[in-house]
Structure 1
Amino acid sequence: MTTDEHAERFTLLRPLLFTIVYEILGSATESDDVLQDSYLRWAEVDLATVRDTRSYLARLVTRQTLNALRASARRREDYVGPWLPEPLLLDDVDPSADVVLAESVSMAMLVLLETLTPDERAVFVLREVFGFGYDEIAAAVGKSVTTVHQVAHRSREHVQARRRRFQPVDVAETMQITERFRTASVTGDMAGLLSLLAPNVTWTADSGGKATAARSPVVGAQKVAGLLIDLFRTGGRMPGMRIQMVNCNNGPAMVARIGDRPEGVLLIEIIDGKITNFYAVRNPDKLVAMTVRRQISR
């Protein structure tokens, strides 16, 4: 077998492999590192021994991902303020085309997956999102099939008990609400903002102590609306600041840029016609990934 065939098989499955790693790690830049390391290992494999390339590579990247996740656990424990996954910049695809994929990379789901142990997270992602068999997952996480069944059941119950009802996205409604939100924020229209926000809307900001941001979540429509108006007023006074609408994690988002440098990303979660959550990423280390549009797949 040639190196070209190794590269061809890996490249074909790369969007799927990236998605697996990102959903377990919550970091696009770390996912790139894991895939690079995984490819080097893959390049040494005798392809004659590989019966199912998809299963083999999923197992390989999952093992490397779990190693990376455990290595980063201490850094997350010492993190200043709330920790949010890195935003994932995507092409403008229709999120209703694959509801399972859209939900699995949503910021709300990734935040929820953070409450699982590394093994629970890997098992949940491989089983519930990608549909791998229990024997394949057992090989990937280094557990018995019986144990994987138990972990899968436990993680599924954990997620179902905590996640909100997820429905196919109404793209037209989402665009309309997002545009009304942008207009109200920029113009300082408090009444307009309040009409768009759920009563218990929550603002969560991730700065890592490296940028100005709230150190704890802000809850309640009045408080969040006031915060937003102040934020947009301040941003409007910064020379060269521009706001761009983008698709992050299969949902609407705004990225603030000065020149080509992203200063922050605001992801917006909309449920039943109301904005329920804002996820603001200000940590410059987590904005590096906003320069590259990603492909995801399952």
Structure 2
Amino acid sequence: MMEEFKKYRALLMAISYRMMGTFTEAEDIVQEVSIEWFNTKREEILNPKSWLVRVTTNKAIDALKKAYRKREIYTGTWLPEIMPDSLITWEDDLDIKESLNTSFLILLENLSPKERAVYLLSEIFEYNSHEVSELLNSTESNCRKIKQRAKEKIKNRNLAKSETSEESLKIVRELFDALRLGHNDIVENLLLPDSEFWSDGGGKVSAARNIIIDINKISRFLTTIFKNLENDEFTYKYDFTNVNGLPGLVFSKQNSKKLWNLETVFSFEIECGKVSRIYAQRNPDKISYVENIFL
């Protein structure tokens, strides 16, 4: 049974991460599924893949109900756990990797847990209505209604189509250099007029409490922060990498004991050669898992 579980573990992680928006919660769900899998008699499982997907999806629905309640009272702006691409080892299908985009995961927050499950299973993982109904113990008619309701909820929401390439990373480097040197004019030229800045500190570290949309405010906010770092007594380092399929920047600070602490994981959405959205994940609980890679 171990080999069968290993065979489908990547799929279970792919579903769980998109359902929860956090790597740690997704791992917890898959771990729970593995325990139930090994405690279930083999003769009771007619189709291993269907059984695993069904149990995973339903556990994720239950977990997401609890998570949503916590997110309603979350301090500041909630962002998904931002994953460096090197950690996303369970994805090998290029056609669905776009659904790991931070913007897409935020979009899914507009859906109820069941709507999210139906939408993901049908639209991303390409299960038909009959298969979805069996996985969720519902009727085909009901699942089709839920799917349509989910699509209506998110169809008019803004989902950026970000560009990912070496040229995109070059734009991020240019933006970072301009921020560090305090060149507001260059910063504003690299941002789209309707750019947005999202920051998640979880109430544990400093972060912008609300989404910043005004291009001048974004420029002033970020140039002030980065320019002040140049005069800081501590040492900083920056690693450019891809994050959730987007160009990104991992920012770390060396403390007085010469130990490195990961401060922020940035990711950038690029449209028409300019930055349209900046995501700054600063919540220590959501970035601690990447420290071993960059520190």
The Cα shift of 1:127 comes to 0.9
Separation in 2, partners of 1:113, 1:179: 30
- 1:257 is aligned to 252
Query: 1:101-122, CA deviations, whole angstroms, 9 ceiling, x for partnerless residues?
Result: 2321100001110011111111
1:240 counterpart letter in structure 2: T
- 2:277 is aligned to 277
Separation in 2, partners of 1:158, 1:13: 31
- Which of 108, 112, 117 in structure 1 is aligned with 2:112? 117
The Cα shift of 1:59 comes to 1.1
- 1:267 is aligned to 267
1:262 counterpart letter in structure 2: L
The Cα shift of 1:31 comes to 0.8
TM-score, with structure 2 as normaliser: 0.88
- 1:204 is aligned to 198
Separation in 2, partners of 1:142, 1:232: 52
Does the 8 Å contact 2:164/2:245 carry over to 1? no
Separation in 2, partners of 1:98, 1:252: 19
Q: Secondary structure at the match of 1:132?
A: coil
Query: 1:144-195, CA deviations, whole angstroms, 9 ceiling, x for partnerless residues?
Result: 221111111221233332143637x451321221221122122222222111
TM-score, with structure 1 as normaliser: 0.88
Change over 3 Å in CA distance of 1:289–1:272 after alignment to 2: same
Structure 2: tracts of 5 or more residues without a match: 254-258
Query: Is residue 72 from structure 1 mapped to residue 67 from structure 2 by the alignment?
Result: yes
Moved more, 97-106 or 178-187: 97-106
Tell me the C-alpha RMSD between the 2 structures: 2.2
Moved more, 105-114 or 6-15: 6-15
- 2:3 is aligned to 8
Does the 8 Å contact 2:61/2:114 carry over to 1? yes
Structure 1: tracts of 5 or more residues without a match: 1-5, 294-298
Q: Secondary structure at the match of 1:279?
A: strand
Moved more, 33-42 or 147-156: 147-156
Query: 1:225-271, CA deviations, whole angstroms, 9 ceiling, x for partnerless residues?
Result: 11111121233425132111122111111111234432111111112
1:175 counterpart letter in structure 2: L
- 2:286 is aligned to 286
Separation in 2, partners of 1:67, 1:134: 21
- 1:179 is aligned to 173
Moved more, 148-157 or 193-202: 148-157
Does the 8 Å contact 2:239/2:249 carry over to 1? yes
2:226 counterpart letter in structure 1: F
2:217 counterpart letter in structure 1: K
Does the 8 Å contact 1:89/1:292 carry over to 2? no
How many corresponding residue pairs? 284
Query: Is residue 103 from structure 1 mapped to residue 83 from structure 2 by the alignment?
Result: no
The Cα shift of 1:292 comes to 6.8
Moved more, 48-57 or 141-150: 48-57
Moved more, 98-107 or 45-54: 45-54
The Cα shift of 1:86 comes to 0.9
Task: Determine what percentage of the aligned residue pairs are the same residue.
Answer: 29
- 2:219 is aligned to 225
Separation in 1, partners of 2:86, 2:185: 33
Separation in 2, partners of 1:182, 1:256: 11
1:56 counterpart letter in structure 2: W
- Which of 86, 91, 104 in structure 2 is aligned with 1:91? 86
Does the 8 Å contact 1:88/1:289 carry over to 2? no
Query: 1:46-75, CA deviations, whole angstroms, 9 ceiling, x for partnerless residues?
Result: 334444433221111111111111122221
Change over 3 Å in CA distance of 1:12–1:71 after alignment to 2: same
Does the 8 Å contact 2:129/2:143 carry over to 1? yes
Q: Secondary structure at the match of 1:209?
A: coil
Q: Secondary structure at the match of 2:29?
A: helix
Q: Secondary structure at the match of 1:242?
A: strand
Does the 8 Å contact 2:199/2:281 carry over to 1? yes
Change over 3 Å in CA distance of 1:190–1:116 after alignment to 2: same
Query: Is residue 34 from structure 1 mapped to residue 29 from structure 2 by the alignment?
Result: yes
